[in-house]
Chains A and B, each alone.
Chain A
Amino acid sequence: MTTPAVRLQHISKSFGKVKANQDISLDIHKGRILALLGENGAGKSTLMSILAGQLQPDSGTIAIDGENMELSSTDKAISTGIGMVYQHFQLVDAMTVMENVFLGKAGSFLLDKKAMEEEVISLSRQYGMQMSPAKYIADLSMGEKQQVEILKLLHRRSNILIFDEPTAVLTPEEAKALFATMRSMADQGKAIVFISHKLEEVMTIADDIAVLRRGAVVDSMPKKSVSSTAELAERMVGREVLLKVDRIPMEPRQMVLKVENLSHQHLQDASLIVRQGEILGIVGVAGNGQKPLVEVVCGLQQPQQGEVQLLGKDWQDFFASRKWKNGLSYIPEDRQGLATCRGLTLLDNFLLTTRDGFSSGPWLQRQDARQKAEKLLHEFDIRPPDLDAFAWQLSGGNLQKMVLSREFYRQPHLIVAEQPTQGLDIAAMEDIWKLLLKAREEAGILLVTGDLTEALAVCDRLAVMYGGRIVDTFARSNQEKVDQIGQMMAGIS
């Protein structure tokens, strides 16, 4: 093969103890579409940020057209011909399409509107898009905005185009049009990188596929050699045993969560139960209905259709008379946004959900809370063990342990944990698994995870989600079903 447009060699990048990228080597070729497949937190975005010049690798080399390069800034990356279409569009709403396209490009002092218009029209024609140059960005659909982003890169003569989850915001028709544009760009000699966790899309559009898991490229192959979507699914989520935690079987007791025929947004007809003493794992590729399920169960959204019972009460009753203790604990995926306030101290963050336990009348008994929280810090080994530290000063793992300690202090009978180990290093992950296993002595746990290794390590039962439905629910010990998880996640059953 010819010299690759980009050759990444032995790229590593760590944030604190977390290894976001470990020893990644990857070739990106002209005229081909490379799909970078992996779950959230697998390190795709970090890798591409390195290529876009936003982050510097700790080690490793990047060669563009066979020449070693140091992409020290975004400007440098842009001038080397690397362009990135971000998930959040970098467009100025109050300006027109052509003004956005020409923004930041060196050139004459005066703006030649006529020439700008023509350039935008001819560029969009060349790659099979339709665009009115004088329209304001604010009036465009998401798909059109994305086209403007692409036009910006094409106008700058970018030869290596990176698309970060480009279909997340598009309608199916728009996605189709995007794929046509991507194909047309590849045919005209550009190198395309397509970041995604959607298997069907990858199978549709990619020429080459690289699978990332926990920061490393675990697989890299041309699409031709992939026999089925299911195979890809298994490669993506993995099932190797990283750690072994002791899971003592436990007799499930009374039911704490019952969801019956729940339909909500794109969640369809979901039914499940969780009993005290067990962990039910919801596995599946993100975006297949996990979010609406969790939001309804945790009271963030009212169920539209179907029945939800928590601790034996109706959804309405339960959330109308919420108690801080022995109730529901929610450990959200977004620990810095939903679970904690980054600008508050650990003590205040501790009081966020436990304040009712430390109140007498309108007064807050901070001394009392301080003693209790102090004990928790040591018990859970949270660092720094300082209640006056701010939440933003903690690493992801420690912050997550702080959230867990707080939620366990409430002695919940139902715990909903969403991707609790995402982005954590292995030691922290093991700690959290142990904590969850211990917590099920008192509680029923609904564990939403995109990591099959995690689900297999801690869950008693598994439910697989695909396309808004719960495809199947079975016991962890049912090896036959466990072997089929990959197929179920890919929608083949």
Chain B
Amino acid sequence: MTFELIIPLLAATVQSGTPILYATLGEIITEKSGVLNLGVEGIMIVGALAGFIAAKFTGNPVLAFVLAGFAGCAAASIHGIVCLLFQGNQVVSGLALTILGTGFANYLGTSYVGQSAPGFSPYAIPYLVDIPGLGPILFNQDPLVYLTYFIPVLIWFYLFSTRHGLGVRAVGENPSAARAGGLSVSLYRWGAILGGGFFMGLGGAYLSLAYTHLWTNNMTAGRGWIAVALVIFAFWRPGRAVFGAYLFGGIMSLQLRLQAAGTQLPSSLLLMLPYLLTIIVLVFSSWKSGKSAAPAALGVNMKPTE
């Protein structure tokens, strides 16, 4: 492949990796506190629809993007109510949330299918875009992509260098130790569920506000599940999540380009590629990491009185 082909492919890689990155970061925050949220897919699509409708009616994409985050919080709060308030099973609750969110968004979204709304467009950053190679890949993107150059660093800093972040990790690793230290396990977990839901909502909104400016049903198309797998691939570390997200972004855009180029391979096989990669990634990361990097109390509920 020539240089002219690779640069646009890599630029597209960053763009398609971005929504996954938002969702993965959200899931990392949630899982760090010991809560497994399998509802990412459902929360993303609720965020996507909320962002789209808000942009359509307010005409303000920035406001729409933020509102999508709060829609994500609202969807995630269902998970919080089930798991924290009623001590329900986290796996079941997450799966139900995915099904609920998808159905809800399809139901409300059907009347908007094919319609467009104002969104974000690429904005080349002066000077930086002129860096040979890197410039056109990283600095000729929309503002929401630029945000993701900072967010992982902020989340990493939050988790590992602030007192509050230490509490989140403690609650995820050993809730009874955290309790003995005087932390409120359920408050921390609520925070992590809502904060995580916010980023998942943003990831969904990226799809309807920047990736396309259109609404189509099922527009998340399994990206939420990829995010869940990527958390494991990333060993629950925000930095590695960036690489993972771009790896998947790369496969997705490559697959699109191969289809467009008219290869002999059937398109359904190409569409499988990201999910095949998901399985391979999971096998490798669980095989390589002898001891698990997962928060020790992941998926374990704790009664407030215990």
Contacts and interface: CB of A to CB of B under 8 A. Distances in A.
Given A95-B169, A95-B170, A103-B167, A90 B162 contact: no
A111 B162 contact: yes
B161 A110 contact: yes
Given A90-B176, A93-B173, A94-B296, A111 B163 contact: yes
A92 B174 contact: yes
B260 interface: no
B164 interface: yes
A109 B163 contact: yes
Interface residues on A, range: 20 to 34
B132 interface: no
Contacts of A99: 166, 170
B169 A92 contact: yes
A109 B178 CA distance: 18
Contact of B163 (A75, A93, A107): A107
A90 B180 contact: yes
A91 interface: yes
B167 A104 contact: yes
A108 B163 CA distance: 7
Nearest to A107: B163
B187 to A, nearest CB: 12
Given A103-B170, A103-B183, A104-B183, A92 B178 contact: yes
Contacts of B266: none
Nearest to A104: B181
Contacts of A105: 181-182
A486 B63 CA distance: 80
Nearest to B294: A94
Interface string B168-202: 01100110111111110000000000000000000
A102 interface: yes
A104 B176 CA distance: 12
Interface string A150-190: 00100000000000000000000000000000000000000
The A interface is mostly helix, strand or loop, or mixed, namely loop
A103 B166 contact: yes
Given A74-B179, A104-B183, A90 B174 contact: yes
Contacts, number: 65
A100 B177 CA distance: 9
Nearest to A106: B163
Given A102-B166, A103-B166, A111-B166, A92 B177 contact: yes
B181 A152 contact: yes
Contacts of A110: 161-163
The interface centre, meaning the residue of A75, A91, A94, A99 with most chain B CB atoms within 10 A of its CB, is A94
A100 B174 CA distance: 11
Nearest to B182: A104
A109 B157 CA distance: 12
A29 B169 CA distance: 38
B294 to A, nearest CB: 10
Given A95-B170, A103-B183, A104-B183, A109 B164 contact: yes
Contacts of B183: 103-104
A92 B296 CA distance: 9
A78 interface: yes
A74 B180 contact: yes
Given A91-B174, A104-B182, A110-B161, 9 more contacts: A92-B169, A93-B174, A93-B296, A94-B169, A95-B170, A103-B167, A109-B164, A110-B162, A111-B162
